Structure 1
Amino acid sequence: MKKTFLVIGLDRFGITVSEELTNLGFDVICLDIKKEAVDKVAQFATDAIIGDSTNEQVLKEIGANHVDHAIVSIPGNVENSILTTMILSEMQVPKITVKVENEYHAKVASRVGATDIINSEQSAGRRLARKLISDSVLDYYDITKDYGVYELKISPTYQTKKLIDLDSRNKYNVNILLIIRNGRTLNPRADTEIFANDTIIVIAEHKYIHKFENTLK
């Protein structure tokens, strides 16, 4: 089932995350108190709404309690960011990523319900969006516009397969570079097996990575 994301706060970071998630094929609800910010995402977002995220009723009306993941990116207002995070947590939103302004903001956001903290000076929206699409994506870096290096976590329920049987290069245009297992780094061959709970490093074309990571569950 397709995931739904809620992006609250449409600064440059929030807009980038929203656009990238939309391009990846996910439903994205965008919320900001400023009309001019909402207008910037109206053409591509699933829903683009003007509203105050610190108002619990507003969040209920836009369906915040039904989203899979909320991203809070409210610039220059730590108090509103924290209050929004707290309300989302009380609504039992499963995952809440908060872009923080400073160490104090990060500490309080974690205490009131943030499941992931993003430092605005260290993370770009595109990279975050790639990580958000799945629990399997631990980290991600762009190489070119179309390709990236992904660190993927293999599901605990994964059935062991050899690389030659997985055939990731031909089926998904994904090259498996390394396997990390129990703290050891392995240089895989065709007959190397991938086990549950392994971590793999791959080079992949962005448009195929989501299909490939679904095979790792």
Structure 2
Amino acid sequence: MSKEFAVIGLGRFGGSICRALAEQGMEVMAIDSNEDRVNEFSTIASHAVVGDTTDESVLKSLGIRNFDHVIVAIGEDIQASILTTLILKELGVNNITVKAQNDYHEKVLRKIGADQVVHPERDMGRRIAHNIVSNNVLDYLELSDEHSIVEIVANNRIQGNSIIDLDIRAKYGINIVAIKRGNEIIVSPQANEFIQSGDILIVIGADADINRFEKKMML
């Protein structure tokens, strides 16, 4: 059974979420105060509506509390973002994700009850920087301010060694949670699993420990 989503703010971030949800077959209501943007998504979203979401009566008329998840992707107008989030919370929306412009914006959003706060520009910047610094890193997902999941291509220094030989957990405090090998994914690999040429290691741990592993083993 598909979930129902509402995306408020149809800029680059909100628009990309709206498209992705629609492509996955989800019911999506697209909302923006800009009529041109709404018209652009009229054939993409299930419903596209022009509306001022800082007006409680507008959100009530849209039945916003009936949606499973509301994403507030309002761009530069921090006041509108905060007020919209506050109204959504007061109306009893169960799951609210909000795009933050900066750390202060995030603090306010969390205080008024946002369930998830995202920093797409900051997070993508970190991700790209991490990939640029290390040629072996394919992908990087930040779990918290200090912990991440990273995809690392196995190099000549570790190929042919078993996981127990490398003793990565004891030496570096990180865990190999899976290995991508061609079209196969080995989840929770055994200690006697040998690293092969072309393997992609999916490791999880503290950023400092992952960086230490990269510098010692992957350069």
Tell me, yes or no, if structure 1 residue 178 matches structure 2 residue 178: no
SS of equivalent residue, structure 2 residue 121: coil
Q: Which residue does 1:17 correspond to in 2?
A: 17
Q: What is the CA-CA distance between 1:96 and the residue it aligns to? A: 0.5
Tell whether the 8 Å contact from 1:7 to 1:71 is kept in structure 2 after alignment. yes
Q: Which residue does 1:34 correspond to in 2?
A: 34
Q: What is the CA-CA distance between 1:188 and the residue it aligns to? A: 9.2
Q: Which residue does 1:66 correspond to in 2?
A: 66
Cα separation, 2, equivalents of 1:175 and 1:114:
38
Cα separation, 1, equivalents of 2:100 and 2:15:
16
State the aligned residue count.
Answer: 144
Q: Under a length normalisation based on structure 1, what TM-score does the superposition of the two structures give?
A: 0.59
Deviations 1:67-123 (A, max 9, x none): 000100111111110110011111121111101100111000111111111103145
Tell me, yes or no, if structure 1 residue 51 matches structure 2 residue 46: no
Q: Which residue does 1:160 correspond to in 2?
A: none
Residue correspondence of structure 1 range 13-162 to structure 2 within 5 A: 13-122=13-122
Cα separation, 2, equivalents of 1:12 and 1:30:
13
Cα separation, 2, equivalents of 1:63 and 1:178:
42
Q: Which structure has the larger Rg over C-alpha atoms?
A: 2
Higher relative contact order (CA 8 A, sep 6+): 1
Relative to structure 1, the CA distance from residue 175 to residue 70 in structure 2 (aligned partners, 3 Å threshold; closer, same or farther) is farther
Q: Under a length normalisation based on structure 2, what TM-score does the superposition of the two structures give?
A: 0.59
Query: Any runs of at least 4 consecutive aligned residues in structure 1 with deviations exceeding 2 A, and if so which?
Result: 174-179, 186-189
Unaligned runs of 5+ in 1: 125-138, 142-173, 180-185, 190-200, 202-217
Relative to structure 1, the CA distance from residue 52 to residue 188 in structure 2 (aligned partners, 3 Å threshold; closer, same or farther) is farther
SS of equivalent residue, structure 2 residue 104: helix
